[in-house]
Structure 1
Amino acid sequence: MALYHTFLCNLLLGSCCVGAVHTTGVINREAAGDLDTVVSKIAHNYPRKLPCPEDAEILPCVCTFDENMHMDLNCSSVESEDQLATILGSSFPFRNFHKLIIEGNDNLVVLRAGVLGSTTYEVFHIIDGVLEEVESGALSGSYSTATEMMFYNNSINSFPWQEMLLFENLHTLHLQENNITRCPKVKSKSLKKLDLARNPFIYLPVTAFSDTPTLQEVYLDGIGLQELSAGTFFTLSELLMVNMSTNQLTEVHEGAVQFNNSGRHQVYLDYNNISLVAVNAFSGFNSSDEIFLNNNQLTLLEEEVWQPVLQQGVTLYLGGNPLQCGCEIAFIILNSTFLGLIDNSTSCSDGELLVNLDPAIYEQFC
């Protein structure tokens, strides 16, 4: 911020004499006061929106600059790929932007290599459009600056996955709701959040995330997933959350979801067709962790499967399953701690809530 103050003051000294004398008086009168207030007055009266370029030079793109030193470029209204290349290929007084915004645009199909010219960005926000391809090299100018990439709700089927390792500070990648038909092999030493939801690639290789050691959140909901291989997540020592809801899973195999850190974990498997969960399907869980299995086809809660999970203090969400409530669940009903870890909406196939079942019946008849 100090550099910004100096920058504005220097600009002022280079302006007309009357303005300089007037503003110097302001600075002298308020030198012992709040410098931010003085800078705000100067910035408000100065005619150019530095560090942004002149409006006419970048139309229909719009540049904005805020008090947090964030300079954003909104090119949502560009009329063609050529126009975007012309605008971004022009000379900018300052080239390091915080965010590039292209939202709801029906003209940009390919983000070409070199289209961004010499500009760099921390955040890419290119969403709700018709973008199909991000060419290799299109984002290369931001290898060292990019922290977030949001490319969701487009039609992307080609993305420069081979370059992900070059983005030194990238921590968030949103590519949900595109047309990625094959699970990418992502390599990154910094990525923490990866969202690939609602892409039709169905098959998830066991090594899909083996080269993303810092990953904490993975979203794979609605991808048509039919099977989850054991060990898929085991190498991710920082993983905290996996969302695999709204898929076509029928079984959770042994070793399917393994954690190996002491954080708070959440696993979402709602709205699948799961009828079978193997012993040791879930391991490495801690107290206060949560497993969501709402709206599946579970009929049995086998003691050998679920007692080890409940003993770890994991909360289970099992609403919308056709559960049998005979003696096979006595180990839950007769253990108040276990029963307290079952979500209150969980019911038997006849609709009766587990929390309303009479323990005396299970004591007498089981």
Structure 2
Amino acid sequence: MGGKQGPQHPRTPRRRFDIMSRYWTFLLVLVRVILPLKAEETSACPADCACLEPQHHILCSNASLTSVPSILAEGTLELRLDYNNLTSLDTGAFLGLSQLSALHLSYCGLRNIQPGTFEDLHSLEYLHLDNNLLESLEEGTFRNLSRLLYLHLENNKLTFLGPDVFQPMDKLSALYLSHNLLTELSNQTFNDLPQLRWLYLNNNLLSNISIKAFAGPRRLRKLSLEANNLTSVPRALRQASSLQSLRLSSNPIRQLGSFGRKLRSLTELYLDELGLQEVSSTSFAGMRRLRTLSLRGNQLEILSLPLLGAQTELLLSRNPWRCDCRLLWLYVHLQVMKSKVSQGEALCSTPTALAGQRLLNVELQKLTCPAFGSHLTTAAPYKVPTYSATTAKRTPPQVMETPKTTTRTTIVSLATKATQPPPVQHPVPASNAVPERWDPCLAELISKVAVRPKGEGALMVTWSTIGEHDQVEVRYSTGEAVQVLWVTGELAEVELNQLHMDTDYKVCIIPLSKHVAQCTNPNPTQCAMSHTSGWGGHIQPVHMQPTPSHSALGTGVAVAVLILVLVALVLAGAYKLRSRQAGFQRHFDEDGFESERYNPDPYKLDGVYESNEEDRKIFVTAASQWSTEDEDKLDCRLATSPTVLSTPRYVTL
């Protein structure tokens, strides 16, 4: 045994040595393979560039590059190549950068981008191509950029956008095209940008916008068309129903047309420096959420927008406001919005007595027609009357002969008015005429009122409205009592039921406003007459004389019914009295003290009557909440209804 084990001891250390030798040899081979790879990866940073390895950013701004570097790490997340001399980008310039999320190519002098240049940038979200010399974009330029969110193309020389330039960009949220040379927009330009939120087209040469140019972006929120060549409000805006901010300033739009019925989400509207001389009272009808309306730098002398929300802030500086009675609406509106009016808004230009003053600070009694501080008349020349020394009688003044077609306007100061001879009365020209009194009935918004009978004691009323006024008051009367029905909704019709039969009714339609109570005499165009069908209350129907047998049978039935009713009333009274006593006794015994008896509902009278939730509701009339908007806080104070009208009922269509 001992002889066999002796030779095995020297072999064990040798085997261990062989195993360790092989292990270290393997490690040495790995080191020789990995180190060159690591060195190659480290050397992937291009010359004259800075590479931030933890952030995976490559910064090559202002590096005097004439082409895109060919060695770029595949895991790069942001690449900055701005302020270089890259006049052209070829197909495949960014191969292998599938994880790149931001690419900056601003101020590179780019003139041409080949289709497919960015096709490997599947993860790109931010692309900056602004401040270059691009004149056109070919189809396929932005191929495979399905995740792009922001595209900057401002400050280039683009003159045209093809219909399929932005076709694959399904997630694009912001598109910047300002400061280019675009002259028109076609229907297909933005059709394939369903997620577009912001679109900037200001400072171009746009004069023609197709009617469906903005139909594709269904969620467009901000649109800037400032500083273009538009001569009217584009009809394409009627397709942008989700628009919240619209800028049309610095366009030659001299007359403000309709904005359509769909801009109900609009909160900001800028119409500065358009040269506007007049704004229609219905121009902004339907814009219930409008919070800022800017009309700065126009030629407006008067302004009355009764359909504008009471919470809309007006920016009105740099307009030649004529502070007279025609600015009463604006004066009241500014008083309501006094906390939001800046110091330089709405300065009076005329009359001279109020020039330079803020309309907000002018005393209300000075807003008169003719304007405060002047007296406007038209008179022919005259001579000062002479008196005879002997008779002390005044001779008639000698009027100078003037052509019949010549008139003269004389402005007499209030200070010297008493010393001047009385002017000859002539018709006042239309330009100096006192404007008509404002109509609280808003008759200009209602037309085509029609009333026709429908069944017995019912009338069908239809009408048409101008603008988007969908809240009206329907007044119907027989000549004595006046009934009121308030209708809300877009359908311009309503059915009146439970009317007197065979009776003449006068029906009037009045748009709801905070002044509806002042409308006591609606315009005839707002009213219509009709006659209800059926038997009237004053006409008794003719019946046949009953036979004796029928009379006896009827009397017997009536007596039997009367007896049954009396028995039922006696039983019901006895049961109620017993139940009340039992309930009182139960509460008294359980609580122990009469003062601590439980009252389940304080609105009940002695716990007898059942509660009616509808009777406890407080209804607020539309007149009391007219000054607030849909999303504003509701004023829960009870409104004062007209004294001549009955309590209105509500109908929502």
Counterpart Cα distance in 1 of 2:59 and 2:221: 41
* Residue 210 (structure 2) pairs with residue 240 (structure 1): no
- Aligned pairs for 1:1-366 (under 5 A) are 61=68, 70-74=77-81, 76-81=83-88, 84-85=89-90, 88-89=92-93, 91-92=95-96, 94-106=97-109, 108-120=110-122, 121-142=124-145, 144-185=146-187, 186-187=190-191, 188-229=193-234, 232-255=236-259, 259-261=263-265, 265-286=267-288, 289-302=291-304, 306-311=305-310, 313-334=311-332, 336-337=335-336, 343-344=342-343, 345-349=345-349, 350-362=355-367
Superposed CA RMSD: 3.7
- After superposition, the Cα gap between the structure-2 partners of 1:54 and 1:76, relative to the gap in structure 1 and judged at 3 Å, is closer
TM-score with structure 2 length normalisation?
A: 0.43
Structure 1 residue 337: deviation in Å? 1.4
**1:72 alignment partner, SS class:** strand
**1:238 alignment partner, SS class:** coil
Residue type at the aligned position of 2:107: G
**1:291 alignment partner, SS class:** strand
Question: Percentage identity across aligned positions?
Answer: 18
- After superposition, the Cα gap between the structure-2 partners of 1:342 and 1:327, relative to the gap in structure 1 and judged at 3 Å, is farther
TM-score with structure 1 length normalisation?
A: 0.73
**How many equivalent residue pairs?**
311
Structure 1 residue 227: deviation in Å? 0.9
**1:224 alignment partner, SS class:** coil
CA contact (8 A) 1:89 1:117 kept: no
Counterpart Cα distance in 1 of 2:289 and 2:59: 57
CA contact (8 A) 1:76 1:101 kept: no
Q: Deviations over 1:223-250 (max 9, x none)?
A: 1111114x54233232100011111111
CA contact (8 A) 1:165 1:189 kept: no
Structure 1 residue 145: deviation in Å? 1.2
- After superposition, the Cα gap between the structure-2 partners of 1:341 and 1:49, relative to the gap in structure 1 and judged at 3 Å, is closer
Structure 1 residue 139: deviation in Å? 0.7
- After superposition, the Cα gap between the structure-2 partners of 1:257 and 1:54, relative to the gap in structure 1 and judged at 3 Å, is closer
Structure 1 residue 204: deviation in Å? 3.0
Q: Deviations over 1:70-113 (max 9, x none)?
A: 423425424442xx327x43643x4232122111222x212121
**1:328 alignment partner, SS class:** helix
- After superposition, the Cα gap between the structure-2 partners of 1:279 and 1:60, relative to the gap in structure 1 and judged at 3 Å, is same
- After superposition, the Cα gap between the structure-2 partners of 1:91 and 1:198, relative to the gap in structure 1 and judged at 3 Å, is closer
Counterpart Cα distance in 2 of 1:138 and 1:272: 37
CA contact (8 A) 2:197 2:221 kept: yes
Bigger radius of gyration among the two:
2
- Structure-1 residue corresponding to 2:518: none
CA contact (8 A) 1:268 1:293 kept: yes
Q: Deviations over 1:308-339 (max 9, x none)?
A: 2143x211111101111100112333563166
Where does structure 2 lack aligned partners over 5 or more consecutive residues?
A: 1-29, 36-50, 350-354, 373-433, 435-653
CA contact (8 A) 1:178 1:198 kept: yes
Residue type at the aligned position of 1:116: F
CA contact (8 A) 1:315 1:343 kept: no
- After superposition, the Cα gap between the structure-2 partners of 1:256 and 1:270, relative to the gap in structure 1 and judged at 3 Å, is farther
**1:309 alignment partner, SS class:** coil
- After superposition, the Cα gap between the structure-2 partners of 1:253 and 1:164, relative to the gap in structure 1 and judged at 3 Å, is same
- After superposition, the Cα gap between the structure-2 partners of 1:257 and 1:281, relative to the gap in structure 1 and judged at 3 Å, is farther
**1:136 alignment partner, SS class:** coil
Q: Which has the higher contact order (CA 8 A, sep 6+)?
A: 1
Structure 1 residue 54: deviation in Å? 12
